[in-house]
Amino acid sequence: MSITSGCIIGFIFCLLAAGVDQAQTPNPTLEPAPSRFGTVDLFVDSAKQQLAAWEMEFKATTGQVEIVGIERGDNADFQDPPYYDPAALKGNRIIVGAFDLAPQLSSGKMRVARLHLHISGAQKPVYAVNLVVAGDREGKPITAQASFSEGEAK
């Protein structure tokens, strides 16, 4: 047996021995992070002014949240789900908005959207909402308030 073949056989033996040791040593199992789904309803309160358009930012300030869907609110004036940037669905933040130019529009507090969320990790998310703008039929800004309500996570 030459020196080279002896080294190769020794090297192979070391690899096999290392493999046997690894097979006998139990690998710690990693617990998957808790995962659940939930909803958040978004509201705009325009008081007594008719609401024709709105835009708001919603974000999770803590926690790991992925927005997996958006549906319309209760208001018949806004028939379609709000507009949004699809690329934003991968982050903890999204900007949504809608408009309607019907002759008679609603006023007061109304649910304008429902966000469907995938929540990962044990940390309970903390959310924030910011009304960017609200407007009337003529495109003039109106005073309004944004708020949200969390649904039950499942």
Pick from 82, 42, 65, 71: nearest CA to 117: 65
pLDDT averaged per 10 residues in sequence order, the chain, 154 residues: 48 48 56 86 96 94 90 83 79 88 90 93 94 94 96 75
How many Cβ atoms sit within 10 Å of the Cβ of residue 19? 10
Which DSSP symbol is given to 76? T
Structure-token pair, residue 89? 């669905």
What is the length of the chain?
154
Concatenated DSSP letters of 13-26 = HHHHHHHHHHHHSP
pLDDT on residue 52: 95
Indicate the class that CATH gives domain 35-150.
mainly beta
Domain ranges, ordered by start, for the chain = 35-150
pTM: 0.76
Please give the backbone phi and psi of residue 24, each rounded to the nearest 5 degrees, phi first. -85, -20
